[in-house]
Amino acid sequence: MAGSTFKDKVVVITGASSGIGRELACQLAGQGAWLSLAARDVERLAKVRAESQTRGGRAIPVQTDVSQQSQCESLIQETVKKYERIDVLVNNAGITMWAKFEDLQDLGLVEQIMRINFFGSVYCTHYALPYLKQTKGQIVAVSSLTGKTGIPTRSAYAASKHAMAGFFDSLRIEIAEYGVDVTTIYPDFVSSEVRERALGPDGLPLGTSPVREKEVMSTETCAEMIIQAMEQRKRELIMSFRGRIGQWLKLIAPRVVDRIALRAINQGR
CB within 8 A of 234, min separation 6: which ones?
183
Q: Which residues of 150-166 are buried (b: 16+ CB within 10 A; e: fewer)?
A: ebebbbbbbbbbbbbbe
Strands 88-91 vs 217-218: parallel, antiparallel or unpaired: unpaired
Measured CA to CA, the distance from residue 138 to residue 170 in angstroms comes to 15
Nearest Cα residue to 136 out of 85, 174, 179, 176: 179
Query: What residue type is 186 in one-letter code?
Result: Y
Selecting among 127, 157, 178, 186, the annotated active-site residue is 157
First to last CA, the chain: 37
Is 186 a residue of the active site? no
Query: What residue type is 59 in one-letter code?
Result: A
- Catalytic residue numbers? 157
